[in-house]
Amino acid sequence: MAVLVTLFYILLSICVVYPPTEFVSAGFTIAQIFEGFLGSENVNFIGYHMKRITITAFIHSLLPLGYVFTLWCGGVTSPWLPASAAAMAIIPLLMCYRLLCWWEHDKTKHPVVKPLLRYATAGSDWRVVAAQLNMEFRSVDKVSIPLTATSKFVATETWLIKVSQYNLDIVKQTDCSLVATSTDVHYLTRSAEDEIQFVKIEAIPTENDIARFSFRISTAALRDLQPRLIHPVRVPEHLSLLPTLIERFVTVFKQYVDQNPVYYVDQELEACIGCMQATANVKLTKRCLAPPPEFEGANGPPQCQQCNCRVLWCCSCMARWWAARAKGPASEWLAGRATCPVCRARFCLLDVCPAVSGDPPPSAH
């Protein structure tokens, strides 16, 4: 019986310390259970994590004592149980003393406050820095990347923050550099068609009194993070970042589109309505032939339709639109069909033509 209780409690403890996805979805995490006490992370980021780390450390310190009580509740009788309970009770008592030390003396010993003290100017309070960080965290421009079920990386306009179970690593973007130190690739299928690459990045502060920290994210998350950074992540020459599946598809899509006839327009091309960065440079115009009668209707693929929309999209956005609606394995995406994002006219790859502003050359007439 003691063995079964021990195995059960070990499994429960692992789920408490490192909650799996099922626990997170069900709301069985410390942060979710005490959500009413912690408040809103978006409103008071620093205050939220000061409370969260305190509660997390205290609950984790109760796990050894909880094991002894679980054995007792499970009917295990042993002369060493009372002595073990007394010994295990010392751990949460010591943790309570440490937590009290965190919150006294203006909370300057709290692990969340310590990194803020470095940025508090002479004569000012760490709460001034905390208020600035809270305000930036409320901004919609921040980038938040989950690392594990209990940690994440946040980049605001000024700050880089790594949130972990017992600590907050905080550094200003101008006071550190991000360097990729290693990469690893994982295949999602046996055929190795789908793969994901992770990059380990180390934040190296320029000041010696600021601790280094590292985090591991996917290359797709890194590309989302780069626009938010003041200084881009430095990638050594011996490391290579693999393009994502969508990026590889966009490259191949462009190659096929370039083989189609050019569509000339007699007006200036405007910005793409998808990304608002690149110039719209593709036009959907029906070029493919109708299928034979025996393949029409339910016996064959749906026929393409004429799109009467003007040039609105760049080739990259059109490729991403195609990929988002593609079905089946990635190797069959190009053979499928998509619908116009505006008028929903059905088209195939032959109907996507490069658009150029101006008159066609004489040979094109």
CA–CA gap between residue 36 and residue 30 (Å, rounded): 11
Q: How confident is the model at residue 292 (pLDDT cuts 50, 70, 90)?
A: low
Task: Indicate the SS3 state at residue 207.
Answer: coil
pLDDT at 127: 93
- The ranges assigned to domains in the chain are 2-107, 139-242, 246-364
Give the lowest-confidence range in 85-99, 132-146, 222-236, 288-302. 288-302
Fold held by 139-242: PH-domain like (2.30.29)
Q: What angle do CA 148, 150, 152 make, to 5 degrees?
A: 65
Distance of CA 140 to the CA centre of its chain: 15
DSSP bridge pairs for 198: 184, 218
* Per-residue pLDDT tens over the stretch 318-332: 999 999 888 888 788
Q: How confident is the model at residue 71 (pLDDT cuts 50, 70, 90)?
A: confident
Closest CA to 257 of 307, 341, 305, 313: 313
Residue 325 has what DSSP assignment?
T
CA–CA gap between residue 230 and residue 175 (Å, rounded): 11
**Looking at the predicted structure, is the pLDDT value of residue 125 above 60?**
yes
- Contacts of residue 8, defined as CB under 8 A and 6 or more positions apart, other chains included, come to 70
* Per-residue pLDDT tens over the stretch 145-158: 999 999 999 999 99
Q: How confident is the model at residue 47 (pLDDT cuts 50, 70, 90)?
A: very high
Q: Which two tokens stand for residue 8?
A: 């059960």
CA–CA gap between residue 177 and residue 202 (Å, rounded): 8
Q: Tell me the pLDDT of the chain averaged across its residues.
A: 89
What's the Cα-to-Cα distance from 5 to each of 16, 85, 246, 325, rounded to whole Å?
16, 16, 48, 50
Task: Indicate the SS3 state at residue 153.
Answer: strand
This prediction has a pTM of 0.74
Q: How confident is the model at residue 78 (pLDDT cuts 50, 70, 90)?
A: confident
* Per-residue pLDDT tens over the stretch 293-303: 666 555 566 78
CA–CA gap between residue 285 and residue 166 (Å, rounded): 58
Burial class (CB within 10 angstroms; exposed 0-12, middle 13-18, buried 19+) of 313: buried
Transcribe 126-149 into DSSP letters: HHHHHHHHHHHHTSTT-EEEEEET
Length of the chain: 365
**Looking at the predicted structure, is the pLDDT value of residue 289 above 80?**
no
- Contacts of residue 233, defined as CB under 8 A and 6 or more positions apart, other chains included, come to 178, 179, 180, 199, 201, 222, 225, 226
Q: What is the dihedral of CA 39, 43, 47, 52, to 10 degrees?
A: 50
pLDDT at 239: 86
* Per-residue pLDDT tens over the stretch 169-189: 999 999 999 999 999 988 766
